[in-house]
Amino acid sequence: MPDREMATVEAWLADHPSITVVSRDRGGGYGEATTRALPKTMQVADRWHLMENASAAFLDAVRKSMRDIRRSMSPCTIKPDLLTRAERIQYEGYLRREEVNKAITTMKDEGVLLKEIVRRTGISRGTVRKIARGIQNDVFRVRESSLEA
């Protein structure tokens, strides 16, 4: 089809009256066009879109619950010599972030001003503020996929 317009889909379907089943995503436009052009046609959600929607919902739920999940897990000892090079780099970053977070929290508890904590650590004021307020103390980094942005 030349485009995704509802009128185009409707016209194309009307030109193909022998169609009995339409597999589509759950967007309203295609359903409406199918209903108008071929009212007796069965409409089904295709497997790809069902899996895409289910995986997106799962990842969203996990992402929202990661802090609680990690808090409930018992700490384990990681043997750096068993890690791959990429895993070792990630682990070392985790250890650095954990150390910085503890240092910031300790300084804050000792009454050191945020401005001074920023100067001592070299961490941005916004990040220091979030860590000091307990908003961002998660040393695990969870990034959004470029597909989700």
Are 29 and 86 in the same domain?
A: no
Contact 53, 26 (CB under 8 A): yes
pLDDT at res. 36 = 93
Q: What is the pLDDT of residues 91-110, one digit of tens each?
A: 888 888 889 999 999 999 99
Amino acid at 4: R
Are 83 and 138 in the same domain?
A: yes
CA distance 118 to 130: 12
Q: What is the pLDDT of residues 5-20, one digit of tens each?
A: 889 999 999 999 999 9
Closest CA to 138 of 75, 68, 90: 68
Whole domain around residue 12: which residue ranges? 6-46
Total of domains in the chain: 2
* Alpha-carbon torsion (42, 48, 54, 60), positive or negative: negative
| pTM for this predicted structure | 0.45
Residue position matching structure tokens 């995503």: 25
Residue 56: CB atoms within 10 A of its CB come to 12
Contact 22, 38 (CB under 8 A): yes
Domain assignment present for residue 66? The answer is no
Amino acid at 112: V
Domain assignment present for residue 63? The answer is no
pLDDT at res. 112 = 95
Closest CA to 30 of 19, 44, 47, 40: 44
Domain assignment present for residue 24? The answer is yes
pLDDT at res. 27 = 72
Asked whether residue 122 carries a pLDDT value surpassing 60, the answer given is yes
Are 86 and 37 in the same domain?
A: no
Are 84 and 138 in the same domain?
A: yes
